[in-house]
Chain A
Amino acid sequence: MRRTLALILCGWAAAAALVGQESPGQAAGHFYNVDKEARIEGTVREIRFEPRYKDRASFLVIVLQKAGSEETYFVEVGPSWFFGQDLHQGERLSVVGSLAGERALIARQLRFRGQTVIVRDKKGFPSWSGGAARPRGKRRIGSF
């Protein structure tokens, strides 16, 4: 199942790379701002992998078309290795996250096919960072 997902994701990533469409949202205000939290529901149009926070690892970014509208949002989920669920183009998806620019959303919680995936806590602390027991590693920079 994971292999299928990986293939699908890779396919979409390759397609996105070919299209060369640039996702907006990486600006100085691109951090998890609890005051700008919103819920967006829509349909998955595209799945991408993009470098974020000047990190060398790529982040999973979902292009979401808002339900009942033509507006698309670029939903930043988390590092590609962290997200281990099946997700396909055309699926319905509900995201709670922080608006970081006009069409960018930093996801905190995703809900699809009846399952809920938490990627950050309520203050925006990333779940993949571990916590207090996490060994101190390289600093991630995100000053776009």
Chain B
Amino acid sequence: MKRRRLLVFFALPFAGVLLIFAFVSALNRADFRRRAEDLVRGQVEATAHIMAVNISHMLTEGRAPDETLELFAPEDDIYFMALLDEKKDVLAWNSRFEGYLPLSLSSAEAGASGIIDSPAGKIFNTYAAVPAGQDRDYLLYLGYSLSAMEDMLARTGRNALFFFALLVLVGALFFHEISLLQARYMAKAREAEAERLEKERFREISAFTSGVAHEIKNPLNSLSLLFDLLMNSVPSAMKPDVGAGKDQVRTIAGIVDRFSSAVKPIRPVPELLLLEEVVGQARESLLREFPAAAPRVEIVVGSGVRMRGDGGLLAQALLNLLKNALEASDASSIRVEGRSLRKGVEILVRDDGPGIPAADLGRVFEPFYSTKERGLGIGLYLSRKIIEAHGGRIEARNREGRGTDFHILFPGG
């Protein structure tokens, strides 16, 4: 899925969800505010009514207005209160803030109410009738702090904002992960496609190579038989030439066999092996081919290192690496090290040759890639195939001006 499509299919619906959340949240908060204000209004009016009744009793009993109001002073949420007579003159008052009594005489009527904005927060004010006996009707003016309600509303707003931010964060993380997942998926898909194409190409090559090998080996067999017959019938002086001819036929057959084996799929038959035996087998094969190289080959393998694998194939893989090292390092020695790791077996094949040019390091395991005049570029490729068929991996590393290391790592051990 392309990035743009991802945006359309995921980001836009998510933006819609955010918008809906913001809208519903705003509606909820507006409704909450309305309900809270109604509740506070009811509470304040009830408080004013109760106080008015009490004050009425006290005034009727003959208490002075200021003495009466003072009895109600400790109320914490009431910012101010005042007692007004029928002429709307202030008989007594008190306030939490010195001299602050925001009184509008024009609206001073029983039942009137309103909200005042002050530096101390919003104040709900209300007027309540106070019958004081002897046909006197006073007014109680009350200012009730809405700061608790405002705090609660502010907290609700902060909570909504917090959840919105959390939603955005979770969404961003989700999209980030989706984007990464998509990138990984695309990379894997590309890899799988490349692998499929390569396998297909190799199947074709394999089929072609097998056909060619078959077609070549039939006449080669005939040719070989012919050389055998010739060997018996030619004069002695010609026998070396006939022998050389037969050797060439054998060489061609060997080349054909190696090509055939290079393109065949590798199916190891695993068994429990001792690493020193596998390495020893490879060494023996090498020395059969290059007997003079015996003093140059140094083996350092820990005893008792066990691993699972196909002994023949592994020895073949090591032999190819040893031959490559031997050819690369002229007269200097080559070294094979093997050891058991916590989660695997490591083998190192080291030579003291000129090293591999950095640009070629990544290509040395490619099929038919060779820098030697007579090389076919199959040996290292086969080694890699065998190692990978065992679940292992191999890599070539240059030691600055001191040769090359081939690191092999097998799982298990």
Contacts and interface: CB of A to CB of B under 8 A. Distances in A.
Given A126-B99, A143-B66, A28 B119 contact: no
Chain A binding surface, main DSSP class: loop
Contacts of A126: 97-100
Contact of B94 (A32, A34, A121, A143): A143
B99 A31 contact: yes
A130 B93 contact: no
Interface string A31-45: 111110000000000
Interface residues of A, number: 34
Interface in A27-64: 28-35, 52-53, 55, 59
A143 B69 contact: yes
B77 to A, nearest CB: 9
Contacts of A142: 93-95, 98-99
A55 B96 CA distance: 11
Contacts, number: 100
A32 B98 CA distance: 9
A127 to B, nearest CB: 8
Nearest to B96: A139
B104 to A, nearest CB: 8
Contacts of B95: 31, 53, 139-140, 142
B92 interface: yes
Contacts of A141: 70, 73, 94
Nearest to A57: B98
Contacts of B93: 28, 31, 142-143
Given A31-B103, A126-B97, A132 B70 contact: no
A140 B89 CA distance: 21
Contacts of A129: 96-98, 100, 119-120
B73 A139 contact: yes
Contacts of B96: 129, 136, 139-140
Interface string B275-294: 00000000000000000000
B102 interface: yes
B355 to A, nearest CB: 75
13 contacts: A28-B66, A29-B89, A31-B90, A52-B98, A55-B98, A123-B118, A124-B100, A125-B97, A132-B120, A139-B96, A140-B97, A140-B98, A141-B70
